[in-house]
Structure 1
Amino acid sequence: MNITCKNFKSGFRKLSGRRLFMPFICLVLVLLVNVIKTPDFFEISIKNGVLYGYLIDIINRASELVILAIGMTLVTAASGGQDISVGAVMAVAAAVCCQILSGGKVTTNTFDNPLLLAILIALAVALLCGAFNGFLVSRLHIQPMVATLILYTAGRGIAQLITKGQITYIRVDSYKTMGGYIGSCPVPTPIFFAVIMVSIVYLILKKTALGLYIESVGVNGRASRLVGLNSTKIKFLTYIICSVLAGVAGIVASSRIYSADANNIGLNMEMDAILAVALGGNILSGGKFSLMGSVIGAYTIQALTTTLYAMNVSADQLPVYKAIVVIIIVVLQSSTFKKQLAGLKIRKASKAIEGGQ
């Protein structure tokens, strides 16, 4: 019996020591809270050939945030700072894509230009935004949050100029599929976009040395230069990747509402992306990172939002409750809190030994 208990404790320590353990536990806890208020929360059904359920809604609605979070993870790891312009870049990419498709008209029922061309140009513009941010951070050594504040402030204004201050509507079914459903497939298309983007970035990091280079530059940029790594190029590249991913998220978000709404697409999503990185157990000062941790963090944030709505919390009150829960989760994942908890256990064990003597 004692051997079994020891094996269990040893196995639990190994499991709890893994980086993804706490992010996963936090996600599970947020989901389990729903069982009390909403007994059918975990039920999934098919209606009119489409998957329905709270879980499907969470996975679907979190797609854009997942895409943003993986880009934010790379930027954070390499530069020790965050790109707060990703929401604005989403709006710019959506505006460019819709304007090309509509040929400058406010509403269109047919494409004036090929869809693929519009998407490629929109992503190219997003790439330029990333190059601008990357140049300021990597070449001019401006603090990341200050450097990206420029596009954070001006990005939506640029999107408004592109759309001439109006919402551009694309009422074409093939455009709606990116934010809706493909043919008779019951799974929402944004989920596929999220899976594809995560898979591509994950494979690039695993099959090349880029992931190791990013961690090395984030831990110590000067030491990395001494061993032959070009920290400037690596930081520059992460900002480009982050903005291109923001462009993809912007196009998906635009497809959901089949329009380019410069004022609302990506609004405040940069903060959720940063939170997703933090909830994923990543250090915001740079260095080692967990891509899957950020993905779990993104789903945790969306699960929390869905949970609060299911509990009839109003949109005005949502940020308050959300902030309280996020603070609790971040504290639980804090290394300082874990050390204090471990110290408390040691003191209790010492007292127990002294008492036994």
Structure 2
Amino acid sequence: MTSILKNRLFWPAAILVVLLVINMFTSRQFVTVQDGHLFGTLIDILRNSAPLILVGLGMTLVISTGGIDLSVGSVMAISAAVACLLIQDLDDQNSVGPVLLIIGIAIVVSMLMGLWNGALVAIIGIQPIIATLILMVAGRGIAQLITDGQIINVQSGPYATIASGFFAALPVALLIAVAATVLILLLTRRTALGLLLESVGGSPTASRLAGIGARRITIMVYVVAGGLAGLAGLIYSANIKSADSISAGNLIELDAILAVVIGGTALVGGRFSIAGTVLGAVLIQTLAVTVVAVGIPSEANLLFKAVVVVALCLFQSPTLREKVFGRLTPRTARAEVPA
């Protein structure tokens, strides 16, 4: 029992369960079936968590190498702007083929933004926080230039499907996030990629001396993070059927970093947890829904969120867990430390 309490993911999972139970009693429809599709508060939480999960996955890979990416929100805005601008110019916005091609183009553009970040960090040698801060500021301006400072509205059924559509009774946005999670899990835990990421994050210099292409790996994770952020931006814009360069992805980088930390990934690089990041993203979204459900005033929302996050981080602290739960361990079970 003590080992379970000491697990980094126990407290995030426990708080998530508590929040879901609260929503179960406060919401009119927690889970229901309509026209063969699942609806309700739980489904809304999972669907709305999809963009944050995607951004969090990319952020996890970047942080595992000892970096950080503050530009993911701006990349979301650029991706949405490119997609909606091209869709608006279509003669038939409901044509599946052209819409899929445009989605692919928007993701490629986002990956190029990630390539820019990776080049600045790995080749030029700029600190990750500064390199990505450049695109964080400039990227929002690029998105506004693409949209000419206007909100571009689209009426494309295939495009809206990626945010509000259903497949096999589940939201398409959730399925996209699950597919991305499974793919990254397979690549990082079933191949040597995960070990390489941890090696680069632990010591880039030692990794290079060991023959590991640290620069290539660093560039790769920024490219992947850019692509995932672009996909998140498409889901966000498809949900509102427009490209809003100002609000798209606004401050999502902070929630993504928070989800990564809640999930147990070390900010200094090295150890990372994909499952923990997904859990953290869902927890953050559930917390946002719960605040509204229990009737907390809107002006106190951020304060309430901060209190919960601080409490969660304290419970995750190794020092606190050792002081609190170490006393629960029987003296006879503790290993003797040699003098």
TM-score, with normalisation over the residues of structure 1?
0.86
- Shift of the 161–128 alpha-carbon distance from structure 1 to 2, 3 Å rule, reads same
The alpha carbon displacement at 1:132 in A equals 1.0
Unpaired stretches in structure 2, ≥5 consecutive residues? 333-339
Change (3 A) 1:333 1:18: closer
Q: What's the secondary structure of 2:288's corresponding residue?
A: helix
User: Letter of the aligned partner of 2:156 in structure 1?
Assistant: V
Corresponding residue for residue 96 of structure 1:
82
Deviation at 1:104, TM superposition (A): 8.8
- Structure 2 counterpart SS, 1:171: coil
Given that 1:156 and 1:263 are in contact with CA atoms closer than 8 Å, whether structure 2 keeps it comes out as: yes
For the residue of structure 2 that corresponds to 1:46, the secondary structure is strand
Query: Which of 124, 127, 137 is equivalent to 1:143?
Result: 127
Shift of 1:218: 0.7
What is the distance in 1 between the residues matched to 2:90 and 2:305? 39
* 1:18-44 deviation line (CA, Å, top 9, x unaligned): 443333223223323445x62767x31
Q: Does 1:304 align with 2:287?
A: yes
CA offset digits 1:64-119 (Å, max 9, x no partner)? 1111111110101112x3211101100100101111111299xx855698112211
Between the aligned partners of 2:202 and 2:225, the Cα distance in structure 1 is 19
- Give the letter for the 2:253 counterpart: E
Q: Which residue pairs with 2:118 in the alignment?
A: 134
Letter in 1 for 2:80: A
1-side partners of 2:306 and 2:298: how far apart?
13
Matched, 1:38 2:21: no
Aligned equivalent of 2:335? none
* Alignment partner, residue 196 of structure 1: 179
Aligned to 2:17: 28
The answer for unaligned runs of 5 or more in structure 1 is 1-11, 351-357
Matched, 1:75 2:59: no
Partner residue in 2 for 1:214: 197
C-alpha deviation, 1:167, in angstroms: 1.1
One-letter code of the match for 1:94?
A
State the structure with more CA Rg: 1
State the match for 2:319 in structure 1. Answer: 336
Q: Post-superposition shift, 1:286?
A: 0.9
Is the Cα–Cα contact under 8 Å of residues 72 and 226 in structure 2 kept in the other structure? yes
- CA shift, 1:296, in A, is 0.3
Q: Which runs of 4+ in 1 moved over 6 A?
A: none
- Render the CA deviation track for 1:119-150: whole Å, top value 9, x for unaligned: 12111110111011111222233222221111
Distance 2:253 2:291 in 1: 20
Q: Paired residues, what number?
A: 332
1:158 paired residue number? 142
Match of 2:337 in 1: none
Counterparts of 1:170 and 1:151, CA distance in 2: 26
Q: Look up the equivalent residue of 2:252 and give its one-letter code.
A: M
Structure 1 position 52 matched with structure 2 position 39: yes
Question: CA separation in 1, counterparts of 2:19 and 2:4?
Answer: 20
The CA deviation at 1:154 is 1.4
The answer to whether 1:62 aligns with 2:49 is yes
Assess, with a 3 A threshold, how the Cα gap between structure 1 residues 160 and 210 changes in structure 2: closer, same or farther: same
Which among 313, 317, 332 is matched to residue 296 of structure 2?
Answer: 313
1:293 equivalenced with 2:276 (yes/no): yes
What per-residue deviation string (whole Å, max 9, x for no partner) do you get for residues 302-337 of structure 1? 110110010123443311111111111011101222
Measured in 2, the distance between the counterparts of 1:314 and 1:86 equals: 29
Percent identity between the aligned chains? 40
Q: Does 1:247 align with 2:230?
A: yes
Match for residue 7 of structure 1?
A: none
Supply the RMSD in Å over aligned alpha carbons: 2.4
1:274-289 counterparts in 2 under 5 A?
274-289=257-272
The worse-fitting range, judged by mean Cα deviation, of 309-318 and 248-257 is 309-318
Letter in 1 for 2:38: L
Distance 1:349 1:121 in 2: 62
The amino acid of 1:230's aligned partner reads G
Is 2:103 the partner of 1:119?
Answer: yes
Which residue number corresponds to residue 355 of structure 1?
none
Letter in 2 for 1:140: I
C-alpha separation between the residues in 1 aligned to 2:103 and 2:242?
14
Q: TM-score, normalised by structure 2?
A: 0.90
Q: Describe the SS at the equivalent of 1:51.
A: strand
- The alpha-carbon deviation at position 282 of structure 1 amounts to 1.4
SS in 2 for 1:317: helix
SS in structure 1 at match of 2:115: helix
1:266 maps to amino acid:
G
Whether the 8 Å contact between 1:103 and 1:112 is mirrored in structure 2 is: no
How many angstroms apart in 2 are the aligned matches of 1:265 and 1:222?
37
Query: d(CA) in 1 for partners of 2:76 and 2:283?
Result: 22
